[in-house]
Amino acid sequence: MKPESVAIRKHEYGLSDTTLFILWRTAVKTKWGNKCAICGGYGPSETHHIIKRRYKLLRFDWQNGLPVHAGECHERANLEAPRLIPEWQYKYLCKRQRIIFKQYLLSEGITENEWRQRVKEELKEVINGNNWEP
């Protein structure tokens, strides 16, 4: 009898990129009142990263996002994003952008899954209307 193959998971259940992106989008839209950050209109919107998502610490940071309509609003967000948020918030994002993810985990004494759990809990706090601030 052959042993059953077991899928090896990179992250614990509920901590995948997909799950965190869904929560991130919801948190960003919640903080902006479900309005487009560019035109202020309601309706279907995308969620745009202010600082590119390749920076892991900022990938799921709700402060690093803007809800925008597709098309013109999204194009404008690429140019205007830093001016749409408070200066302190932009400085916070720029500072976090310079932190190397593995060094962050070491300095905090946590694993990547523990970091993902923290991010998930923070995003849920924002979605539930708790005015969480960094």
pLDDT in tens, 52-107: 989 999 999 999 999 999 989 999 998 888 889 999 999 999 999 999 999 999 99
Task: Measure Cα distances from 30 to 65, 69, 106, 111, 123 in Å.
Answer: 11, 15, 32, 28, 10
pLDDT in tens, 35-47: 999 999 998 889 9
Question: In this structure, what DSSP letter does residue 110 have?
Answer: -
Q: What confidence category does residue 49 fall into, taking pLDDT thresholds of 50, 70 and 90?
A: very high
pLDDT at 8 over 90: no
- Percent of the chain, pLDDT > 90? 73
Tokens representing residue 56 in the block: 């892991």
CA distance 81 to 36: 12
Question: What pTM was estimated for this model as a whole?
Answer: 0.84
Whether 133 contacts 91, CB under 8 Å: no
**Antiparallel, parallel or unpaired: β 46-49 and 65-68:** antiparallel
Q: Tell me the CA distances in angstroms from 128 to 17, 123, 125, one per residue in order.
A: 20, 9, 5
The answer to whether the beta carbons of residues 74 and 68 sit under 8 Å apart is: yes
123 SS3 class: helix
Has residue 133 got a pLDDT over 60? no
